[in-house]
Amino acid sequence: MQREFRTGILFTAIGQYSNILIQLIINVVLSRILGASDFGIVAITQVFLIFFQMIVTAGMGPAIIQNKSLKSRDYGILFNYSAIFAAVLGVLFGFLGFAVSYIYKDKIYIELFWLMALIVLAEGLNVVPNAMLAKEKRFKAINLRLLFSNLIGAVVGVIAALMGAGVFALVLSVVVPAIITLILNFFIVKIPFNTSFELSALKKVWVFSKNQLIFSIINYFARNTDNMLIGRFLGAAPLGNYSKAYGLTVMPNTVFLGVINPVLQPILSEHETNVELIKETYLKVVKMLAIIGFPLTAFIILNSKPIINLLFGDNWNAAVIPLVMLGLSIWSQMLNAATGAIFQSRNQTHVMLRANIISTIIIVIFTCVGVFTGNIATIALLVSVAYMVSFFITNYMLMRFTLESNILSLLKILVKPIFLGVTSGLVLFFIEPFTNFHNIILLILVRGILWLITIIGFLALTGEYKFVKDFVKNKEVR
């Protein structure tokens, strides 16, 4: 397990970090070419796209990974079902553009939705081959494919923007990678194609898939209610600023959980009944994420304006306050994101579903109250509070019902990381008057170095440096 975990982390890190860098470059370049309204329009289309992507996968990927009774022929049958489902949903997504254009009073959505229907189709066709690659732990193939397709997509997107394609440049940067990934999958994965639609194969993954799908649908509304309501009642420009801030607060999840989560379930699923092993692994992952998450929360909150100005330019200053408010929940989003793989590896998606229903109700209520005020900053603050409440609810249920323990064992390991976050925040607060350089790069660089020195010093003084060193080297991970 240790060797597989190390190999998986290595290649997943290569794929994910290169993807993050590519996406960041696209964002930085296009933010200086396109306006807040363009990003707001894309944010609205993505709300619907994410929903269709979630439906078209139907929770089948994790179910295939978890199920040990699937035979070679079953993969071909499942592919047949996914292909028909993908084609139907792709067409429905295209026609949905007419309704959205009517609701938001802009005909551009009709063209955008038909173009993005290709993503829905490709996503559905990729479900089975993606799951087969993950189940076989072919992390190298998965991530080299990811790197290549996203690189091509970035080049196409930037060229399109420079040629005056406007909002379509943003869409092309997403459509192109989806199509390239599909083409590469047919070369990389040996799918046992057949013309059968036997229900026996579908029944093998149905229960797991059903819970996963319902969870995804509920989680979708929890994560996108803010975008839908802001876009409908406040407009595209405020949504563009909000989505910029939100994108930065979820980036740590992509950076750290994007590397760990794809590896956790395929490996831990083989130890489904070993509760103690899974619990120890989870607590180590959470502790490491907390050591990163709490001080990172402090850094982003206290440097929100220079971060926005550096990445997107002065014309995005309206995103600064939303970033501060949303930034309060960075630590909770990071820690909560690791729970899904644990629920799945223990084959307890029903518990995950119950926890998610409760969390979603809270998030939707808080979001609606925020939208009622008509203030983006208030919305962002209430969304942050909701995410923090969700963290405690989800982890209480995970520790009690899935890992047969209690939440106190989790909270104990968060004490030092919380103090680390507070300490690093105080250092940043007191050095601010002395580091207000006109050069934004120099300002962030100096503050970042002092912030890192504080973290390293704290870890050395508290003895946590050894834990971090062992975690990075993957020692004592059974």
* Tens digit of pLDDT at every position of the chain (478 positions): 556 656 666 666 666 667 777 777 777 777 777 777 777 787 788 888 888 988 887 678 778 887 878 888 999 999 999 999 999 999 999 999 999 998 888 888 999 999 999 999 998 999 899 888 888 878 788 888 888 898 898 889 888 888 888 778 878 888 999 999 999 988 888 888 888 888 888 888 887 787 777 877 887 777 788 888 888 888 878 888 898 899 899 888 877 766 676 777 677 877 888 999 999 999 999 999 999 999 999 999 999 999 999 988 888 899 999 999 999 999 999 999 889 889 988 888 889 889 989 999 999 999 999 999 989 999 999 999 999 999 999 999 999 999 999 999 999 999 999 999 999 999 999 999 999 999 999 999 999 999 999 999 999 999 999 998 888 776 554 3
Domain termination residue (choose one: 178, 210, 242): 210
Residue 227 lies in a domain: no
Choose among 320, 387, 401: nearest CA to 354. 401
Choose among 417, 465, 289: nearest CA to 281. 289
Choose among 210, 185, 32, 45: nearest CA to 122. 185
**The two three-digit tokens of residue 383, written as one number:** 């969304």
Q: Give the separation between CA 372 and CA 368, rounded to whole angstroms.
A: 6
Q: Kindly give, in sequence order, each residue whose CB lies less than 8 Å from that of residue 293, ignoring residues fewer than 6 positions away.
A: 252, 330, 331, 334, 335, 417, 421
Structural domains of the chain, count: 2
Residue 190 and residue 241 in one domain: no
Residue 132 lies in a domain: yes
Residue 15 and residue 71 in one domain: yes
pLDDT at 477: 41
Choose among 238, 338, 303, 347: nearest CA to 442. 303
**The two three-digit tokens of residue 105, written as one number:** 């009073």
pLDDT at 231: 82
Residue 47 and residue 119 in one domain: yes
Residue 224 lies in a domain: no
Residue 312 and residue 366 in one domain: yes
Long-range contacts of 448-457 (CB under 8 A, 24+ apart): 448/299, 451/295, 451/299, 451/424, 451/427, 454/295, 454/423, 454/424, 454/427, 455/295, 455/420, 455/424
Residue 437 and residue 325 in one domain: yes
Q: Is 194 left (phi over 0), alpha (psi -120 to 50) or beta?
A: beta
Report the alpha-carbon angle 423-426-431, nearest 5.
125
Domain termination residue (choose one: 210, 226, 260): 210
Residue 26 and residue 100 in one domain: yes
Residue 31 and residue 148 in one domain: yes
Residue 196 and residue 286 in one domain: no
Residue 221 lies in a domain: no
pLDDT at 68: 79
Residue 17 and residue 95 in one domain: yes
Residue 217 lies in a domain: no
Exposure of 207 by Cβ count < 10 A (0-12 exposed, 13-18 middle, 19+ buried)?
A: middle
Residue 223 lies in a domain: no
Residue 261 structural domain: 234-478
Residue 24 lies in a domain: yes
Residue 216 lies in a domain: no
Residue 474 and residue 385 in one domain: yes
Residue 268 and residue 155 in one domain: no
Measured distance between the N- and C-terminal CA atoms of the chain, rounded to whole angstroms: 6
Residue 280 and residue 183 in one domain: no
pLDDT at 478: 39
